Structure 1
Amino acid sequence: MTRCRLCGSEAMASVVDLGATPPCESFLAADQLDQPEPAYPLHLRVCTDCWLTQIPPLITPEETFKEYAYFSSYSTSWVEHARTFVADAVQRVGLGPDAFVVEVASNDGYLLRHVVDRGIRCLGIEPSVNVGAAARDAGVPTLTEFLDPATGSAVRAEHGPADLVVANNVYAHIPDVVGFTQGLRALVADDGWVSIEVQHLLTLIEENQYDTIYHEHFQYYTVASAARALASGGLTLVDVELLPTHGGSIRLWARPAEVAGEPTNGVSPARAEPRARGRVADVLDREKAAGLQELSGYTEFSARVATVRRDLLRFLIEAAERGETVVGYGAPGKGNTLLNHCGIRPDLLPYTVDRNPYKHGRFTPGTRIPILSPEQIAADKPDYVLVLPWNLRAELVEQLSFVHDWGGRLVFPIPELSIVEAKS
């Protein structure tokens, strides 16, 4: 990578190099195990001009998302998060019976189904054929497309401008930041709202969440860099919320620059509600205090990543030497970054399980660990269960309470190795 994809600068500095890994959602069928498997460099860098952190765009979204293994509805807590968001957004934006809501990267309709239930007109834009079909089967109108300015303009011409455009956990997934943002602006009404949820780089670094670095995520945002990205497409940041999702996310509220007012202090609009201005300023201050607008905030991250790797490998090796069994729970994309970076194979983790039937009988990319149904854990009664979707800790401690019945314990690798009793 020689140039920043947002500002075009060549001033790029290394943050952490995780080697080369396969795409994190490229789960293998049994008949693929003897075939070559491509791996791509996973090297996070930061632009020291605009401070957008990013990886090289070595894999196109078309390669990743046409057939996708992740279905949002399999996470109970995520569906509840979406329901709460819709209820709050209806009040905040004032969505009435004549409103129109568009969600970009709408997955299997996990969020828009709550909009449908309220009788509000909506449309999902989802590039993955299989999950988009699941959304339509659930009664959520869904267009199978990637968002760019042309798609945004076409949807607006056919359906009218959107009062609210939602883009949750997709703003990191697109290499053309400017074009995607222009697509959002094309969709939204001139007096409308855009809501974006994306992982917060501040917590990623503070909490050692390096496993969320993978090829689907082309960039990682602070509020400051996100505001610059939004401005590139004609949108202005007017408010920010800190969320616990995905280990720590930000919800960015933006409006067309014409109605948001002129920015002050670089990001916060003068005509925004004062409390919102204060929230933006508070988070910017936190980011600055953490050194994320200078190189010093990034230099120690690589060493802390190495500690996570060594601690997890030490635990697995020592458990194996004691004759204790460790199996995995979950097969998320982040888990595959962790497994590949640590070099974990079936000799240390004989299998993992997942609630998504799509993954059953498949194998994790690179590490070739079998993925089974969750019932296998109760059948085998392992000594430890390594929880790969650590961001769902509260939900999974409850779901895996049965592990306590035989004295089993749960292991969480991030932000540091911790071994806990399953909830009894």
Structure 2
Amino acid sequence: MLHLFNSMGRKVMPFQPSDPNQVRMYVCGPTVYSFAHIGNARPAVIFDVLARILRAQVPSLTYARNITDVDDKIIAAAAADGVTCDEIAARFTDAYHTDLSALGVEAPDIEPHATAHIGPMIKMIEELIGSGHAYEAEGHVLYHIPSFSDYGKLSGADPDEMLSGARVEVAPFKRDPRDFVLWKPSKQGQPGWDSPWGFGRPGWHIECSAMIRTHLGHQIDIHGGGIDLRFPHHENEIAQGTKAHFWVHNGHVTVSGAKMSKSLGNVLLVRDILKDTPGEAIRYALLTAHYRQPLDWTHDTPRASRAALDRLYGALRDQPTAEPNAEDIQPVLAALSDDINTPAALAALHELAGKVHTSSNPKRQAEIAAGLRQAGAFLGILQQDATSWAQAGAGETKRIEALVSERVEARANRDWNRADALRDELLALGIEVEDVGNKSRWRVRA
């Protein structure tokens, strides 16, 4: 039986859907104004694993993950590029799909776009005004936080500290500084729609609430996203009327111990990592820490993950087709059912791989290998041909050796700038070069 940590209540609980035959899960997707970074990829991978677990345990799952395609950041990106907001949104939606596909993330059952749900958003806003939770002021419609007594229950945020990190505009027309925007006016040239409050566009928070209600109903089983969304986004969704049995949040991704930020220049784009690292190795890396804990991405992370996959695929090579034994798969399923414990699940996979190598019975070896592959499917790994994986690794070795040879030639020609550039390129691949006389030796960075 699946157990999950519920952010509402802050404890691990048995997962009991409102309808055992039909589970409904919604995960906040990207705001499509730029390429996805590794932090954006983590919730996509984590909730992809959760969807796989649920599909194995319940008769039916409806999984929705939205696209936010109207937002101030999209407007700014369009202005900077001299194109329309629709062009920016379409470009980066396609890029998001491409990058996630490379990581083995399956498409959700439903992928609603915010701009296709303006009508439901306007209706919800009208309902919130009618119930006394929202008010109109100077062309804006704002949610009045003091009208909702349970505000802060999900995040445990102190009411006096709620403005910190909430990204709310402190405006003179607000009844309370914490009140957030449900609808705002659009300037000429900005995307907008006609509404009872004038030409404008929705606030971010109402978008998800309206899309959930449209596609999944008034009560869902799981609402997921990154920990940064717990407050204020998910807190605001609850105030708007979104109801979920479980609120599930994954931790941040840091880079060598530091928060990713443009100012530090350490934002790692998925597509850049993919240039030197197989998508499956990136996926593996994102599963090495428990989803609720921070995951630190270092220079050595891709190499370590690829090496781990080499060991697992090595146990699958030259094994004939066989039927898996449920007992072999059970430790992996048990770990994943225990609050998506992917580190324990990966450890169980490596234990299975070890048993393939140590078994002296060829029939049993094939059976364990079949279990290893089937168990790997729950994590979205080990589904490639093992020989093809090994050949791809051999190709990488040839690439490294070619770069080292080119660097030796550059040094012989006293082209020090080129030699230094090649050394940096090798370091980016996790390779250290040692120069001995007119020769060079390379090794994987420890």
Q: Which has the larger radius of gyration?
A: 2
TM-score range, shorter chain: under 0.3
TM-score (norm 1): 0.28
More helix per residue: 1 or 2? 2
More strand per residue: 1 or 2? 1
